Amino acid sequence: MQALVLDPNLDLSIRDVDVDETLGPHDVRISLTTVGVCGSDVHYYTHGRIGPFVVEQPMILGHEAAGRVVEVGSAVTHLHVGDRVCMEPGIPDPNSRATRLGIYNLDPAVRFWATPPVHGVLRPTVVHPAAFTFRLPDNVSDAEGAMVEPLAVGMQAANKARIKPGDLAVVIGAGPIGMVTALAALAGGCSRVVITDVQQPKLDLAATLGPIVPVNVREESAALVIAQMTSGWGADIVFECSGNAQAAAGLFELLCPGGCGVFVGIPMQPVPYDVSQAQIKEARIENVFRYAHVYPRTLDLMSSGMIDVKPLITDTFSFAESVKAFDYAVNMPSTSVKVQIAME
């Protein structure tokens, strides 16, 4: 089949590739309709690796996806041909210790789309376990369905934060993950969210999504803004979504005593961690790696109108333009948030 393939020499092209797509009794075959371009996809394209995951053989990119069921396995009863669906891209070992503990996202044996050596889904069809395939509500489009994957990260972060109604949260970083984390925090009960970044167009967009206060840290101090909003107390929750080591190091300055810091973005270098500052505030620290069993709630929030991701989808390319889409994402303008590829 024709697929968008990244070679170990970082050459990216649409070409024929052989993929085993045997349909098992508990699987469904899906025709892809929309695939989002994630920062991890782009990083593999530019660097060939993320931490221990190295592109050592040709790999199909893409893991944020929606599509249409075209075939079902003999044991599948909850999905049918024609259903519009989105898919959770990480498949754990059902017998692993992590899975049995309910933290299947931490299973070392998980097979995650577009994580070497596992192929992604920038291709016509994919066979996927029905248990990790979710029907889209009628009022949720395929493009929105492909946003469930990044939004699930924000949902995991909101769950980890243990939000109380009325909490004030700060989101560091107004990229795609920062934006969806802000939306998840509001849906989870936060009264307001302060979002910080250096790109004003992204902050302007964030301000249209709800009770979100944008702060351009090139022009003003986030700590001062939070102090003014809280009479010097600090924010109840700080979500670090930038992956920027310097920004992450300033998390505790924004946090109130007894508050919660949630590390969501994955830095490419070690972050200076001020243990004494965390101790003085008795800060509770949480870490997020992907997500576990949040797709159903995410879809419910989208269907109810509590979360609207449509404004975040800023750029759409055709499958034939996939290489162009990735080159665009490498040097994405400040007015763009999420790039998607329409497969049909």
pLDDT in tens, 74-125: 999 999 999 999 999 999 999 999 999 999 999 999 999 999 999 999 999 9
- What is the model's pLDDT at position 198? 97
- Structure tokens of 284? 């509770």
Confidence category of residue 310, pLDDT binned at 50, 70, 90 = very high
Domain range annotation of the chain: 2-147+309-342, 152-287
Confidence category of residue 161, pLDDT binned at 50, 70, 90 = very high
* Per-residue model confidence as pLDDT tens digits over 271-298: 888 999 999 999 999 999 999 999 999 9
CATH 3.40.50.300, applies to 2-147+309-342 = no
- Tell me how far CA of residue 269 lies from CA of 174, 227, 272, 285, in angstroms: 20, 29, 10, 19
Residues facing residue 341 across a β-bridge:
35, 317
- Stronger pLDDT, 269 or 142, i.e. the higher one: 142
Which residue carries 């979002």 as its tokens? 195
- What is the model's pLDDT at position 267? 86
Which residue carries 């979504």 as its tokens? 241
* Per-residue model confidence as pLDDT tens digits over 173-184: 999 999 999 999
Q: What percent of the chain has pLDDT over 90?
A: 96
Report which residue type is found at 55.
Answer: V
Q: How many helices (H) and strands (E) does the chain have?
A: 12, 20
Mean pLDDT taken over the chain: 97
Does residue 269 surpass a pLDDT of 90?
no
Does residue 214 surpass a pLDDT of 90?
yes
Task: Tell me which of 269-278, 316-325, 335-344 is least confident.
Answer: 269-278
- What is the model's pLDDT at position 268? 80
**Regarding the domain with residue range 152-287, which homologous superfamily does it belong to in the CATH classification?**
NAD(P)-binding Rossmann-like Domain (3.40.50.720)
Residues ≥6 apart with Cβ < 8 Å to 218? 198
- What is the model's pLDDT at position 211? 98
- What is the model's pLDDT at position 93? 95
* Per-residue model confidence as pLDDT tens digits over 4-47: 999 999 999 999 999 989 999 999 999 999 999 999 999 999 99
- What is the model's pLDDT at position 270? 86
Tell which residue, 279, 174, 168, has the closest CA to residue 234.
168
How far is 322 from 108, CA to CA, in rounded Å?
31
Phi then psi for residue 340, to 5 deg, are: -125, 155
